[in-house]
Structure formats: structure tokens, C-alpha cells
Structure 1
Amino acid sequence: MPGVKCGGCGRFTSTLESAKCGKCHAQYHRVCVGVAPKAVVTASWRCPECKKHLARDNRAETPVRGVAGSPLTVSPVGQTSEETSTPNTTSSRSDLASIFNEQQSPSPTPSMPLDKVSVDDITAREMSLIAGSNMSLLFEELRAMRAEIQEFRKDMEVEMMEIKTSMRNCNARIDGLEARISALEQKASSGGSSSDGIVDELRRELNDRDQELLANDLEISNIPEAAADNPTHIAAIIGLKLGVSLDERDIVSAERVGGKQLNATNSAGPTEARPRPIVVRLARRDLRDQLLASARVRRGATTADLDLPGPPQRFFLNERLTKTNRRLFRKARDAASLFSWRFVWTKRGRILARKSPGDTTQRIRTDEDISRIFGPINETM
């Protein structure tokens, strides 16, 4: 593992080339603690530092550091440390001496015994072997660190590119916001836009949306009202009279709307209350358009033969308008009558006006449109 030092020699070590203590979890080079390179290190293995604190029980063995931690030295009386060391250390020294005698240095003659080899030669060769092993480990660690640094550099470059892209997007959005704020400030300073104008525009949009919700509705007015009448049945028989067959599934709802008027009396006698209109919502818009077209063709149709109470009287079919559009339509008709405009009508919830055949059709959405199209009128009208 890069960055972990050996507890014996203090140099860096890796997981594959180290032995880990099962108690203190410190790591050592295998050569530093005398563990074979391919030996399996169990969890019960203890490092020299942990063994040092164990009770002796009158045993002669004493835990020692590895070869790199305690190299061979010559005692003052001419004895080497291998004479006072454990048998394992003596055998490892003999093995190292035989390796160096055979491979690296000029070996003594075959007849020369092993104990004739100089202790200084053995120590120097051991240190050279350990130094070479440590250098190879160090090179491996450096290569591993270099690979990690390169990988980290690549990740950082990718992240930096993402940060630059995000910064460019943020700058573009900020520039757009600044441009919009500048435009709004210019409009506010020049008086080109006011809160009243914005409110009026919002009201017009809401009115248009409300009118769109009434696209399948129509209004039948001037139908005699009785206590037990059925608006759905009345709508069906009026459709038959106009030549459009309506099934019960075609009529979503039918009801009279508005406040119920009471009969009032005066000196001339009782006055008749005007019947409330019937609002019919159809399942399809094409049925509503067919009924309106048939009503225009059969203009002047009455309630005769409809089995309704009272004398026959003329009834009317129109589009259902919102409250705002009903007020504008009534005001537009009064203005058209005042200024001799011949045509004022509604189509798909829009109020339209035309002075004479062949003229341009004008759409009316506000009171200002009425003044602009027809001319100034009396406010009390």
C-alpha cells in the first residue's frame, strides 16, 4: 500500500511485500522480520515489538528486529552478534553468506570453511542486498505514486473543464438577466409600460381563457318558464325544430341561469316577469355550431308546436358569453345603433363589428376599442 512505512527499517512498503501484525496492525518488510516471501501471514502473527512485551516465562529467546533493523556487528572480544543471537538468526546469516559466496563476490576456495569468511564481508553484502531490495521497493512505490498522480491529474482536468463550462453558462445567464433588467429600466424611465397596462392585459387574457371554457355552451332565451319544466327536454325539442337531432348523450347539462324575477304590480295591473335563459352545454362543439347555423337560417322561429305554456313567441339562440363580454357586446350594439353601424355579432366568443358590407371587420376587446372604432360616446350610455 503506497504511503505505509515498515516498522523495522522505516522505508515504504506495499501490501504484497509486507507482513501485518495481528495485534498492532503495523506492517514490516518480510525480509526485516524473517518471513519467507511466499509464506502466508495469519492473523495470529505478532511483530517483534508486540513479542517484546510478552511474558518471558524463563525462556532464552528474545524477539529481535529484522536484519535491516539490527545488522551484524563484531563484539569487543572478537565474537560476532550471531554467537549471541538466536539460532534462526545464525542460520539466516549462514544462508546469506553462502548466497554471496556463490553469486556476487569472489568466493573462497572450496576447501575453505564457512567460518573463515570475514564477518565484515558478510555484513557489507547483507547491507548491499537489503539496500538493493529497498531501492526496488522504492522505485515501485514511486511508479505507483506517479500513476496515481497521473490519474488524479486526468480527473482534475475533466472537472476543470466542467467548471469552465458551468461558469460560461452562468455568465451567459447573468448577461441575459442584465439585458432584461436594462430593458425594463428603460421602459420604466420612458413611461412605455405601466402597472395599469399590465393589469389590463392580464384581465383581457383571463377573460379570453374564461370564454374558451364556454366554447361548447349556447344560450336559449325568451322560452316561457314554468315550475315543472325540463330544460334538457326543451333543448332537445328546440334542436328538432331547428333540424338538428340531439341525443341525451349529446347534452352534458341544461339549466336556467340568473336570478328568478318576481311579478310586480302597479296601477296599470300586474307585469309579466321575463323568463330566465336556458344555458345548454353540449358534448361536441360541432353540434353547437350546427344549432347556431340553423338558428340563423330559421331566423324568427317561435315556440309554436313545442308544447310549451303560454302563447307562441319568438326565441333566440346565441353563444354563451362571459360577464365581461356580455357587457361589451351590449355596449357595442348601443354604439353601433348610435353611429349607424349595421353589423355587430359574436363568433367563437369574439365580439366583431362592421359598418357596412365590404368593410374591414373590427374586433372589440375593451371599452377603449369601442371608443376607437365607433368614436367618442357618452359615458352614461
Structure 2
Amino acid sequence: MSATWSCCNEDKEEDCATCCQCKHLFHLTCLKSTHKRADPSDFLAPNWRCFLCMSAAPARCAVSANNKTSRSKKRLALSSPPSANSDPATTEDIRTIVSEIIEAETVKMLAELKNTINSMVTSELKTIKDEIQSMKESMAFIGNDYDDIKKELTTYSALAKNLEAQNEDMKNTISNLTGRLNSIEQHARSSNIEIQCVPEFKSENLVSVTKQLGSVIGHNVEENQILHCTRVAKLNRDSDRPRSIVVQFCSPRARDGYLAAAINYNKKSGKEKLNSSHLGIAGEKKPIFITEHLSPSNKALHAAARVKAKALGYMFVWVRGGRILMRKDSTSEYKVIKDKTCLEKLV
């Protein structure tokens, strides 16, 4: 009599378990695949009963193994015990049950994952929304500050323009006052001459030097015509030139006569112009210059005019009545140099 298999109905040689009640046989591999959490040693116990006998009525358990009926095509419902008239579950039924369980678990997991993702996204979006709101508030604050700064800038810009206009007026005023002060200083020197490069001696008599030079140039000077006579400090202390002698005459006319005589003498003398030998000073001949006594501003302007004349090829630079004059050649017109702006315009 052949064995009755209640698992897969395949008569194959391998270990099997026998139900102590219905005497049906079950392959251990089939039982292991169906009852994964069960201990395999329980299937080999003498009192082991299959799941059909454990859940069936007493009448169903007494049926002989040879009176086995065919299994209904209908699958058992999930989580419900088999009925007394049901056939043993096949591998296909078990696979279907497992697939439904997996599908249900998958749906549950997907729902939980969806809820988790929604919660995370909602939380992150809330954080981003708060940051955007904070940025909006900051931008509004900056915008208000920008408007205030713009207003202040407009105010300060107008103030700066006003100050610039005032500064320009002050510059013009200062320039005008400087010119007037220079004119006053030059006018105060209208009776003075400056004798340059006369060697210095401790016991020198500057009035006698002035009178002696007057005799040389053919213009005798009375002592009462000389109001004051002194040497002045050097502008450049490192210079090795002797200090200049400033002579103040009693009037501009007396000064102009002395200057004119000195100019005529130098024109007529050729190479023997005024020098230290005319004063009876032995040794190397050193030239002596007699010029108008210029104010500090005019003296600096005169020096700058000589440098400019040399650079541009001007032949003549001279001083007359406290004014600085330039001429490119003997045929061109002379130019009055009032300030450095006039020098910059020369070509």
C-alpha cells in the first residue's frame, strides 16, 4: 500500500514526518518551508500531529488515509484555520498566502514611509519657510536703512556741493589776498635794491660798499640818501653764496637811478662786468649783481621763470618795477609773469 503524502504528493526519498493521528506523511523540506519558525526536531516527535488534525473535528481525524477527497479550488482565507472538509494546503497556496502577506506588509511599509517622508518634508519646508521669512524681514530692514542712507547721502551731497562752492570762493579770496599781500610787500620794497655775491667780512661797512659801487657804475650816492643797509638771511642755508645786502634809499627815484646806472655799466663793460675786484678785494674775481629787492613770492616766481625760459628757449628774463618780464627773442613781445599759471601757459 502506497504512502499518503499530505504536503506535495510527490513520492521522493528524503526524511519525512508522520502524523500520529491521521498517519499522513509530510516531507521535512515541505514542513520547513511552511513552518519557518518551528523547530525541525518537533516534526520527528512520536506524538506530532499535522496542522489538519490539530484544527479538524474528531470525526475528520478518524477518516482513513485512503478516503482522501479532492481539495477545493478555493484558497483558504488569510488568518483563518482550515475547515474540517478542506484538503491539505499546497505549495502554491502557501506561496499565494506569503505573497499576500508580503504585499500587505509592503503596502503598510510604503504608507509608513510616505508618512515619514511627508513629515520630514513638512518639517524641512517649515524651516525653509521660516528662513525665507527671516530673510524677508532682513531685506525689509536693509531696504529701510538704504532709504535712510539715500536720504542722508542726498543731504550730504548737497552739503558737499555747497562746501565745494564755498571752498572755491575761499580759494579765489585767498589767491586775491595773496596777490594783494605780495603787492604790498613789493611796494614796501620799492625804494630797495639787493646787492648779491659781495664777499663778507667781519669789519665791513655796507654803506661804504654801496657808495663805492656807485662810484664804479658812475652814480655817486650821498650818505643821506641811504636810509638803511644790512645783510639778509639766506633762503637756502646750505648755499655757499654770501648773504645778500639790502639797501634802502630815501626814495624810489634814488633807487631807480642807482639800478639804471648798474645796468648801463654792465652793458658797456662787456666781459668786465661788476665784480669783487671793483671793491678792491684781492683774489679770484667774483661777479656782483645789483637787482631790485623782490618779495619772497616774486623771488620764487623769478627763479621759476628763469628755469622755464631755459627749457623753452626764451632769451630774456628781467625784473622791472617789481614785475617779472620774459621775451623769447629781441623781436617778440614781452610777457608779464604774474603767477605760476602764466608760466604754465607759455609755449
TM range (shorter): 0.3 to 0.5
Name the TM-score, length of structure 1 as normaliser. 0.44
Q: Which has the larger radius of gyration?
A: 2
Taking structure 2 as the reference length, the TM-score comes to: 0.48
- The structure in which a higher percent of residues are helix is 2
